[in-house]
Structure 1
Amino acid sequence: MHNLARLSGTTALVTGASGGIGSEFARRLAQRGADLVIVARSGDKLEALASFLRSTHGVRVRTEKLDLSETDAPRALFERTVEHGIEVGFLVNNAGSGAVGPAVKADPAAIAAMMNLNSHAVVDSMIRFLPGMVSRGRGVIVNVGSAAAFQPMPYEAAYAASKAMVQSFTQAVGEEIAGSGVRVLAVHPGVTVTGQRSEEILGVVAKFCGLRQPEHVVTTAFRALGSRKFSVVDGCRYSLFVGMTQRLPARTTVALMRRITEKTLSGV
């Protein structure tokens, strides 16, 4: 496995890199000497970040403006790396979005796009980039999930389900490739300051567990990569909260989460 303290000679690909957790991953990887491919829908933000990373850390940075909620986008991204002879040794699947509200009023197209981004793109990218890493005997894949992955979330039902898939898939694949030299990890943030509406929706949880910053999440991920864990929840209080909900009877947990989201939605 890579020496994570120094990644010179490694190319890292980070999705959702235009801000928040993705941008922080890109910065920290560049600090360690990794060249980068950064991906997001916002071309201007990507170019600004790329310019900063080149001038500050002297690394090579390629930008890819791409909407990974489109079904064929993960394939297109992989093919672009092959076309340009880029060997991705560190993959961060960070791009994601949320959908809030009762399922009975949900827009099927919006839910499909969210599921594509949160689940399909993660699975597709892992399947495409993993064989090369395994054949080389080294590599890292970090999938950014959510603390919502560990319990059903009324009014965020599809979002929580999409993140539960990330958790399950990462753990299963991690066990499959144990001993290969490739490290896979799902990092699950709680309420993190990224500008997404989930910060408002989970405000009640944040009152008890606190607001996290992108740098906290990335630090948690790098620490966990030095262990044998396949997944980690960012923040001690969020980890305790997740542990508590997993120990409660399933019906009690889902009723609790319904009360939390209903209370918060009524004030949004």
Structure 2
Amino acid sequence: MKKTVLITGASGGIGYVLAYRFAEAGYRLVLVARSSDKLQQLARELKDTYRASCMTVTKDLGVESEIAALHKELLEQEIEVDVLVNNAGFGLYGEFVETDLEQELNMIDLNVCSLTMLTKLFVPAMVRKGTGGVLNVASVAAFQPGPLMAVYYATKAYVLSFSEALENELKGTGVTVTALCPGPTQTGFSDRANLGTSKLFKSGAMDVRKVADIGYNGFLQGKSVVIPGAQYRLLTLLIRFMPRKLVTSIVRSIQGKA
């Protein structure tokens, strides 16, 4: 029987590429995002390329009732999720006193609450079966405070901390948990976050396919944390030995306007 992977934020970026990787590996896919047209197009591509079985679900995962409805729908169709990919999320650039509160609360709902609720709903069944996996898309932002994106960095710190703790709790159950922590990546993220004027993305970004491939392979290997790019692995190591205020000042400089 084919295994099933549920991918949130599948209509673009890392989630889009991961859908291709899981389809190539023979998984049945449940693709979730807000954009119905983009999901339908992706499903057609995967069916044409890999003859993949794809179910598309249009939901706003920043809304708790939508998450509950997704879970109920899969239960009613007797679809068991073997792998959960929590990829949906967005950022917001700007000084906290000037950024929009509603957008930031929506960001917390999607980046933190949605990821937590989906994991709570789908992981217990994996544990009962003795097999499964969770791939949470965090960020190198998780390793330090992020002036000019204060709330976003904080949400990703949560994702990393939550993933590492859950990975420890689930040892011996047959269920793995991996946190993928990419640096700047060539997706639509920078546009959504209004990062067009920031030095962070103007200095270069990794190819999304490379990032997704590294994350996918790390997940298959059962790694708890995957950081694509040697420069970012070195960065996350160095900041452990640097004064926190210095780290924060450096991040502020990097994220300033070009």
TM class, shorter-length: over 0.9
Which sections of structure 2, spanning at least 5 residues, go unmatched? none
**Aligned equivalent of 2:186:** 193
Q: CA deviation at 1:83?
A: 1.6
Q: Report the residue type matching 1:187 in the other structure.
A: L
User: Structure 1, residues 2-53: CA drift from partner, whole Å, max 9, x if none?
Assistant: xxxxxx6101110101111001000000000001000111100100100111
Q: Report the residue type matching 1:16 in the other structure.
A: G
**Aligned equivalent of 1:42:** 35
Match of 2:208 among 214, 217, 230: 214
The 3 A distance-change label for structure 1 pair 51 and 181 is same
Q: CA deviation at 1:85?
A: 1.0
Q: Does 1:243 align with 2:229?
A: no
**Aligned equivalent of 1:253:** 247
The 3 A distance-change label for structure 1 pair 173 and 92 is same
Distance 2:202 2:117 in 1: 32
Quick check: 1:15–1:93 contact (8 Å CA) kept in 2? yes
**Aligned equivalent of 2:223:** 229
**Aligned equivalent of 1:57:** 50
The 3 A distance-change label for structure 1 pair 206 and 147 is farther
Which sections of structure 1, spanning at least 5 residues, go unmatched? 1-7
Quick check: 2:6–2:85 contact (8 Å CA) kept in 1? yes
Q: Report the residue type matching 2:135 in the other structure.
A: V
Q: Report the residue type matching 1:15 in the other structure.
A: T
Quick check: 1:119–1:166 contact (8 Å CA) kept in 2? yes
Instruction: Please give the TM-score of this superposition, normalised by the length of structure 1.
Output: 0.90
**Aligned equivalent of 1:4:** none
**Aligned equivalent of 1:3:** none
Moved more, 249-258 or 211-220: 211-220
Instruction: Please give the TM-score of this superposition, normalised by the length of structure 2.
Output: 0.94
Q: CA deviation at 1:54?
A: 1.2
Q: Does 1:19 align with 2:25?
A: no
Q: CA deviation at 1:189?
A: 1.0
- Counting matched residue pairs gives 255
Distance 1:21 1:162 in 2: 18
Q: CA deviation at 1:255?
A: 1.2
Distance 1:203 1:196 in 2: 15
- Matches for 1:157-172 after TM superposition, within 5 Å: 157-172=150-165
Distance 1:201 1:76 in 2: 39
Distance 1:203 1:28 in 2: 31
- Matches for 1:104-123 after TM superposition, within 5 Å: 104-123=97-116
Q: Report the residue type matching 2:208 in the other structure.
A: P
The 3 A distance-change label for structure 1 pair 44 and 163 is same
* Aligned structure 1 segments of 4 or more residues deviating by more than 6 angstroms: none
Q: SS of the counterpart of 1:143?
A: strand
Q: SS of the counterpart of 1:104?
A: coil
Moved more, 155-164 or 55-64: 55-64
Q: Does 1:33 align with 2:26?
A: yes
User: Structure 1, residues 195-237: CA drift from partner, whole Å, max 9, x if none?
Assistant: 2225646644763xx4212221222123323445311211111
Moved more, 151-160 or 217-226: 217-226
Match of 1:140 among 133, 136, 142: 133
The 3 A distance-change label for structure 1 pair 206 and 233 is farther
Distance 2:135 2:92 in 1: 23
Moved more, 98-107 or 68-77: 68-77
Q: SS of the counterpart of 1:131?
A: helix
Distance 2:70 2:97 in 1: 34
Quick check: 2:17–2:209 contact (8 Å CA) kept in 1? yes
**Aligned equivalent of 1:153:** 146
Moved more, 213-222 or 97-106: 213-222
Identity %: 37
Distance 2:26 2:233 in 1: 31
Q: SS of the counterpart of 1:18?
A: coil
